[in-house]
Amino acid sequence: MADLHLMYLNHQNNTIHYIRFGSGPNLLFCLHGYGETGEEFSALAEQLAKTYTVICPDLPLHGKTVWRQAEFLPPDLQLILLSIAEKVMPGTSQWALAGYSMGGRLALTLAQHYTSSITKLILLAPDGLKLNFWYWLTTQTQVGNRLFRQTMNNPNWLFRAMKWARKAGLLNQSIFKFSHRYLDDPEQRNQLYERWTLFRNFRPDTTLLSHLLKSSKLPLLFFFGNYDRIITTRQGERFLRKSGAETRLYIIEAGHRLLKPAFAATIAERIYQQPA
């Protein structure tokens, strides 16, 4: 990997690990998906490294980042990005922001609260465009959170319900496999509970956000996989109709995994086509 640097930031009582690619004149932060690390952006970052200085942090409870606080709030993430920006590009207070899957939900939330800090918003199969009832129940209500904790300790009833829903055609095969990926192992289930609970404060208001994007004329690029059954293109199309002329939506011949090296050049080309 060309021009890659592994770096750390001490933030309050926490240690944030991040990867830096390139030395371009524009700053780009990339927020990874659930259960991943900033390294997932490596292929795309290399494609962008001549124009952007690309920063890919490991989010709390992921990778080499050590997070000791009980909560993680949008102001925490904004302050982390500001602190890293000051280290790598002193005097910079604006940047392009990319988010993949769960990282897309975080990016949407930051765009809502800190619109003026962002020069371009790049969302790849982003979570957060549609309210997920189960995520709301398990993270925003006390009863739901207790049930979530109990289920992660004893998931047998959930496995039976998922199997029934799959047979009844209420749960598609992609989501069925995706769910089992994080539910079959006790440690993975414990991490799921801790991560979902910690990230519960990142809840974008898409109606408000669409108005903010339209008034600010912030460039927004959507990328969706044509065969993605987890986060579908329809979610982006609905948002596109509300968010103004500066929004672009691109379909990649892929499933949910848009950060594979095979798609990096295509995505980078589309990013370059819309200057900040």
Give per-residue pLDDT as tens, 203-218.
999 999 988 988 888 9
Q: Are 220 and 195 in contact (CB under 8 A)?
A: no
User: Rounded to whole angstroms, how far apart are CA atoms 209 and 96?
Assistant: 17
Whether pLDDT at 227 is above 50: yes
Residue 189 pLDDT class (50, 70, 90 cuts): confident
Whether pLDDT at 235 is above 90: no
Q: What is the mean pLDDT of residues 224-247?
A: 86
Average pLDDT value for the chain: 89
So what's the pLDDT on residue 183? 76
More confident call, 164 vs 138: 138
> What does pTM read for this prediction?
0.89
Whether pLDDT at 254 is above 90: yes
Range of lowest pLDDT (10-19, 41-50, 100-109, 225-234): 225-234
Residue 55 pLDDT class (50, 70, 90 cuts): very high
3-state DSSP assignment of residue 80: helix
Q: What is the mean pLDDT of residues 189-196?
A: 90
Q: Are 128 and 109 in contact (CB under 8 A)?
A: yes
Beta strands in 132-265 (DSSP E): 220-225, 247-252
Q: What is the mean pLDDT of residues 133-151?
A: 82
So what's the pLDDT on residue 178? 64
Query: Which positions ≥6 away from 18 have C-beta within 8 Å?
Result: 7, 8, 9, 38, 55, 56, 57, 58, 84
Give per-residue pLDDT as tens, 91-134.
999 999 999 999 999 999 999 999 999 999 999 999 999 877 77
In the chain, % of residues over pLDDT 90? 62
Neighbours of 213 (CB within 10 A): 23
Q: Are 21 and 88 in contact (CB under 8 A)?
A: no
Whether pLDDT at 9 is above 70: yes
